[in-house]
Amino acid sequence: MKFFVDTADVAAIAELNDLGMVDGVTTNPSLILKSGRDILEVTKEICSIVSGPVSAEVVALKADEMIAEGRKLASIAPNIAVKVPLTWDGLKTCKVLSGEGFMVNVTLCFSANQALLAAKAGATFISPFVGRLDDINLDGLDLIADIRTIYDNYDFKTQILAASVRTVNHAKECALIGADVMTAPPAVIKSMANHILTDKGLEQFMADWAKTGQKIL
């Protein structure tokens, strides 16, 4: 499973990228706001750090304007994936931009039917939101599984990009189900390294090492 990092924080992206933990980046208007930077400027910098897809989201609501914004965003760098919402106008935009050879990430997916439409429209990625479904007492992981089954049934090439991943359990289950990509905040990716038994084991090793009175350097 590929790891995308869900942030516009350049320092956090660079740190994870140096460790080989970044296969791409996803951004959205909320993350751009949090960064406090110009969308074109920060997106260009992110594209210079990572070689994989960098999702940059349109903000228009009508297809013609979405298409124009998408072309503008795609001109930033070759690894831009234009992010569009899963609305009818978003699907129209996906069809046009994917037909022009651009990567398209269709976001805010909450049903298998929506994912099926996105694949038919030529989406490079579909972004089902796991955590937000959990918020309304639905199992977001069930949606990932449903989409995986449908896409495999018909050999769709659209990649399942599990989004709104909030916990290490989400990450593990998405990998078990077979999501192509997971996008998560830097803190979630880092917390995947944590385990209480690792901490306890290291504590014991350090205590025993101190008793030897030895040094390596």
Residues identified as active-site: 83
**From start to end of the chain, where are the E strands?**
2-6, 24-26, 54-57, 80-85, 103-109, 125-128, 159-162, 181-184
Q: Phi and psi dihedrals of 167, rounded to 5?
A: -135, 165
Yes or no: say if 132 and 164 are a contact pair by the CB < 8 Å rule.
yes
Rounded CA gap, 198 and 208, in Å? 15
Residue the block writes with tokens 């449908």: 150
Residues 6+ apart with CB under 8 A from 169: none
Q: What one-character-per-residue DSSP string does 23-38 give?
A: SEEE--HHHHHHHTS-
Residue 126 pairs with which residues in a beta bridge? 106, 160
Q: What would the two tokens of residue 167 be? A: 């916990």
